[in-house]
Each structure stands twice: as structure tokens, then as C-alpha cells.
Amino acid sequence: MNTTVTTHRLVIDAATLPGGDGKADLEVECCLWGPSNRPVVVLMGGISASRWAFDSVHGPGWWQDVMHDAGALSVLDHSFLTFEYVCWPDQPGAETPLITTADQARVLRKIQQQLDLPQFHAVIGASYGGMVSLAFAALFPQALARLVCIAAAHKNSVKTKAWRLIQRQIMQLGQRHAESPAAQAEFTALARALAMVGYRGELEWQERFASESAGRDVQAMASYLDHHGQRFAARFCARRYAQLSQSIDYHQVDVASIQADTLLIGFTSDQMVPTDQLQQLHQALRSRSRLHLINSIYGHDGFLLEAEALNCIFNTFFEEHNHDHIERNHRRASGY
């Protein structure tokens, strides 16, 4: 994406978040891609996503394949807001409070207000970001015009909670028994490897690793999982991983107050967010909404890999609203 980016480091009063009393204020880093006088679109990804959604000096953007110059949402017509999810800092001897998807939504609202941004043209969230997008739309229904929720629902299944519980227990073992930060990182890498098993669809695993040679598939999988686990652990500490993992487990949104025109997108092979959960969410919404299920082998990671299918759906959804870009952009965050 060929555009300028403005970075911001904002201070969020911890007392404005539940569980924040007595805690140090939180700093949140965010980026505004393009000028703020264009319709602003918020982009949020999974727990490992950063504010660098597009290619930059920091490396390839995590959503560059979907959000590019020829995509449905062009930088020529829009600005994009990205930010880092917040977590509570360590306080020795004190129990770390829960950070919720609603808290992340409140942080997003603070960003909108502090930067004096207009009503968001759209809030687009995928995976963890999809949960935050639902919480934002429910808490601040007038702060956005459109909601796009991908591979996320208003609550999570018991099975996925068990999956994440085991991941956190692996990291707890590392904290108790590993003698160095490097050794602890090995446990974080193992927890992430376990998570990776659930992110891809069954057919994709089969096509990627199936082998007629006994044991070769296991060797190939071990190498793949070790690579992704080690890469994650190199930039993600166990404390942050555990907080965001637990945040997912406690995610639950009453969607009755959502007013935004809503687009839900799911993937038929997604083990983390089964399609029946999205259908339940679709039925619970009172606002205008539509549900698209993409037939994909990539499972939950479809939000990263099904770029062409996503852009086709985005084209149809956003084409309906092209006429009101300028009108929406005159409403500032402070004017609600």
C-alpha cells in the first residue's frame, strides 16, 4: 500500500477501564494510514497482529494481501486506523486483572476521541479483532457506520476454551520450571504450536503433510510447528500471550444494541469458530446484517489467506454505501 503513515503513542487512563483502579496508565501505539479527512476504516487482526497491517519499514504487513491498492477498500479513498492491543503490566505480588475484549473496545474509543476522528466508516475485525469489533459496536453504537466481523462470534465454544487452557498451562509450567527467559520461551513456542493445529482446516493439513513414507509426515509437521512456534515466541512474551488468551475465553457480547450495518464472514473449515456460532450470531443481530460462509481449506486462517474471496465480498458490501462517504466524514468523534 503506497501511502503515508502517522504513528501515535497515546496514554489511556487505567481508571477508565474495569480492573484499572490503582494501576498505572496504559500506553497504546497506533497508526493512521493516510489523511484523517478521508473515511476512516479500523483494521484489527488476531492476537498476534500488530499495528503494522500494511507493508512498511517494519516488514511485510499482516493484512497486505487483503488490503492493497487494488482491493475493495482503496487507500485513494480511505484512511486506515490500526493499533496494538493493550495488556496489564506485571505487578509482583498482585493478581493481574482480566483484560477483556470490551476493554480493547474502550481503548479504541479513546483513540477515536483523542485523535478526534470521525465516525468510523467501518470497523473491520478478524479473529480476536472480530470479537473486539463486536464489543465496540455494542458499547458505542453511534461511533461506527458499518461493522465487518470475520472468523469471530459473540461468544466462544467450550472446546476452544479447553484448547487455550492447555496452552496457558504449558506456559505456566515454563514459568515454574524453566531457569532462564530463553528456556521459558520454549514453552511459549510449544503453546503456540498447539494453537497452530487449530488454525488450519483438516484438508489443508492433509494436503500439506500427507506422505506415503511412514513418519515423514510427522517430521514435516514437527518442523512446521517448531518454526511457527519459535518465530512467535521471539516477539511475544508469555505474559501477553496468556492475558490475550484468557481475554478470548471471557469474551461475550450482547449484540442487541448493535445498530451498524453488519457483515459477518466465516469459513466452512474453521475449527475455532464453527459456522453454527456465526448463524446464531446472525439470528441474534437486530441491525441489518448478512452472513457469508467461504468454502475454504484454510480454516480459521482463511481471514489471512482468502484474499480474493474477501475482497469480492467487501466489494459488494461497501459498494452499497459509496454515496455517503463525504457526509459521514463531517461527523467528528467529539460531536456524538
- Within this chain, do residues 74 and 223 fall inside the same structural domain, yes or no? no
Confidence category of residue 94, pLDDT binned at 50, 70, 90: low
- 0.85 exceeded by pTM: yes
Q: Are 147 and 120 in contact (CB under 8 A)?
A: no
Instruction: Considering only residues 37 and 122, tell me which one the structure prediction assigns the higher pLDDT.
Output: 122
Confidence category of residue 29, pLDDT binned at 50, 70, 90: very high
Q: In sequence order, which ranges of the chain are alpha helices (DSSP H)? A: 101-114, 128-139, 158-177, 181-199, 202-209, 216-233, 238-249, 275-284, 302-305, 307-319, 325-329
pLDDT beyond 50 at 331: no
pLDDT beyond 60 at 332: no
- Within this chain, do residues 257 and 300 fall inside the same structural domain, yes or no? yes
Q: At what angle do helices 238-249 and 181-199 cross, to 10 degrees?
A: 30
- Within this chain, do residues 149 and 290 fall inside the same structural domain, yes or no? yes
- Within this chain, do residues 231 and 257 fall inside the same structural domain, yes or no? no
CATH number at residue 138: 3.40.50.1820
**Of 26-35, 94-103, 220-229, where does mean pLDDT reach its minimum?**
94-103
- Within this chain, do residues 12 and 113 fall inside the same structural domain, yes or no? yes
- Within this chain, do residues 71 and 112 fall inside the same structural domain, yes or no? yes
DSSP 144: B
Helix H, strand E, coil C: the string for 240-307 is: HHHHHHHHHHCCECCHHHCCCEEEEEEECCCCCCCHHHHHHHHHHCCCCEEEEEECCCCHHHHHHHCH
pLDDT beyond 90 at 79: yes
Domain span at 230:
158-247
Q: Are 31 and 83 in contact (CB under 8 A)?
A: yes
Helix H, strand E, coil C: the string for 13-43 is: CHHHCCCCCCCCCEEEEEEEECCCCCCEEEE
Residues 6+ apart with CB under 8 A from 92: none
pLDDT in tens, 143-189: 999 999 999 999 999 999 999 999 999 999 998 888 888 889 999 99
Instruction: Report the C-alpha gap between 110 and 11 in whole angstroms.
Output: 9
- Within this chain, do residues 141 and 49 fall inside the same structural domain, yes or no? yes
pLDDT beyond 60 at 23: yes
Domain count, the chain: 2
Instruction: Report the C-alpha gap between 288 and 297 in whole angstroms.
Output: 29
Mean pLDDT computed over 322-335 = 40
Burial environment of residue 113 by CB neighbours within 10 A (0 to 12, 13 to 18, 19 or more): middle
- Using the 3D structure, point to which of 220, 247, 274 is the last residue of a domain: 247
- Within this chain, do residues 236 and 257 fall inside the same structural domain, yes or no? no
pLDDT beyond 70 at 336: no
Cα three-residue angle 201-203-207, rounded to 5 degrees: 120
Q: How far is CA 286 from the centre of its chain?
A: 23
- Using the 3D structure, point to which of 247, 265, 293 is the last residue of a domain: 247
Instruction: Considering only residues 294 and 24, tell me which one the structure prediction assigns the higher pLDDT.
Output: 294
Percent of the chain having pLDDT more than 70? 93
- Within this chain, do residues 149 and 275 fall inside the same structural domain, yes or no? yes
Active-site positions read 127, 270, 300
- Within this chain, do residues 256 and 225 fall inside the same structural domain, yes or no? no
CA dihedral 131, 255, 258, 260 (to 10 degrees): 60
- Within this chain, do residues 164 and 243 fall inside the same structural domain, yes or no? yes
pLDDT beyond 90 at 92: no
- Within this chain, do residues 138 and 166 fall inside the same structural domain, yes or no? no
